[in-house]
Amino acid sequence: MKDYPRTLMEFEQRFNSEEACREYLVQLRWPKGIRCPECETEKMWAMSRGLYLCARCRYQTSVLAGTIFQDTKKSLQLWFRAMWYVTNQKNGVSALGLQRVLGLGSYRTAWEWLHKLRHAMVRPGRERLSGTVEVDETYVGGEEPGQRGRGAFGKVLVVIGAEVKGDHMGRIRLRQVADASAISLETAVKEMVEPTSLVRTDGWRGYGALKEKGYRHKVVRDEGNVEGNLLPRVNRVAPCLNVGCWEPTKAGSVLPIWTTTTAFHKFLTRFPAARGLPV
């Protein structure tokens, strides 16, 4: 589908009713027509409350079944506005900010919605990075007294991988790790980057054995340049980790918040696969 909204005006016109939102989801979930999930027949009767009844086996289903919208008591229009807001904020979104924008009466509701949306944005089975990839690690957490850098205490350590596409940044992968040891960093790189890729890192000894693991490894050293220019793509991602663009999870993954206009549609195309469970 190519009729996703690109501006706020288009969004308001496209999804100006509950029925318009529901119809959009129907087209995404059943692009070739509604089918019974039990017997695969195309003979489905529309019922009230968005339900469909199979003419053959009498099975009832809904376009919301098995999605993050299932059992919601809020309108789809409100959900769509939440997704539009989340995917169009360059500096990330907080639960409090989402609550204020949508006028939600409960902070907990805003937090749960944001958590579900973040999980739903991760595509299961996504490919690893390839080609030339910058890799570095950073700590997530606010300013705290005490030791800085790799010896910081009380923060979450996240490894960042960013593809180099000419002067631009390609795909991004992130992985939460326990520490900056060679075992942790090598495992993270293996999960994020395809073997034989050229991996650029700083001189930290934890990356020293990447060549033995099947990667082409290049250490980027400071030769009078500003430190942030050594791994510029990674250094573009790192600040976002502390402003709500990403969320580390107990499962060890890091959940992204996309900040492009077309992300709204890309998110919706995967909505049947996510219900707020760890990916």
Average pLDDT over residues 75-85: 91
Residue 76 lies in a domain: no
Domains in the chain: how many in total?
A: 1
Return the beta strands (E) in 151-271 as ranges: 156-165, 168-177, 198-201, 216-219, 246-248, 254-256
| Residue for token pair 């520490």 | 179
Angle, to 10 degrees, between the axis of helix 76-86 and the axis of helix 18-29? 70
Can you say how many angstroms the Cα of residue 235 is from the centroid of all Cα atoms in its chain?
19
DSSP-derived 3-state class of residue 128: coil
The residue-averaged pLDDT of 171-180 equals 88
Distance CA 180, CA 185 (A): 6
pLDDT band at residue 119 using 50, 70 and 90 as cut-offs: confident
Structure tokens at 30: 């059943």
Is the whole-model pTM more than 0.85?
no
Closest by CA position to 156, among listed 238, 89, 230: 238
89, part of any domain:
no
Residue 248 has pLDDT above 60, yes or no: no
pLDDT at 151 over 70: no
Other C-beta atoms within 10 Å of 201: how many? Answer: 24
CATH number of the domain where residue 166 is located: 3.30.420
Per-residue pLDDT of 212-226, as tens digits, reads 999 999 998 765 554
Domain span including residue 174? 132-254
User: Can you tell me the distance from the alpha carbon of 272 to that of 60, in angstroms, rounded to the nearest whole number?
Assistant: 17
Q: What one-letter code names the amino acid at 246? A: W
For residue 152, is it within any domain?
A: yes
Residue 15 within any structural domain of the chain: no
